[in-house]
Amino acid sequence: MIASPVYEKEIVAIILYTSCFFMIVAVFLVVFFYFSRKKIIQKEVEKRDLEIHLQKEQLHAVIVTQEEERKRIAQDLHDDISSKLNIVSLNAHLLSSPNLTEDEIKEITDNIINLTAKALENSRKIAHNLLPPVFEKFGLNAGVEELSQEFESSKSVKVNYKNQIDFDDNDIDRHLHVFRILQELMNNSLRHGKATEIWVDFKSINELNTCKYKDNGTGFDSKNTENQKGLGMRNIDSRISFLDGTITLDSQIGSGIVVIFTF
Read off the pLDDT of residues 159-208 as tens digits, 9 standing for 90 and up: 999 999 999 888 888 898 899 899 889 988 988 889 999 999 999 988 89
Task: Check whether 130 has a pLDDT greater than 90.
Answer: no
**pLDDT (tens digit per residue) in 17-58:** 788 888 888 888 888 888 878 788 888 888 887 877 777 776
- CA–CA separation, 49 vs 46, rounded Å? 5
Question: Model's pTM, two decimal places?
Answer: 0.57
CA angle 230, 233, 238 (to 5 degrees): 120
Strands of the sheet containing 197-205, edge to edge, are 158-163, 197-205, 208-215, 257-262, 247-251
- CA–CA separation, 102 vs 170, rounded Å? 57
Parallel/antiparallel/unpaired status of strands 257-262 and 208-215:
antiparallel
- Amino acid letter, residue 66: Q
Alpha helices, H only, the chain: 5-76, 83-94, 102-130, 133-138, 140-152, 172-191, 231-242
Task: Check whether 86 has a pLDDT greater than 80.
Answer: no
Mean pLDDT of the chain: 82
Residue 50: the pLDDT is 81
Task: Check whether 2 has a pLDDT greater than 60.
Answer: no
Half-sphere exposure of 241 (CA within 13 A, CB side): 16
Facing residues of 202 across strands? 163, 211
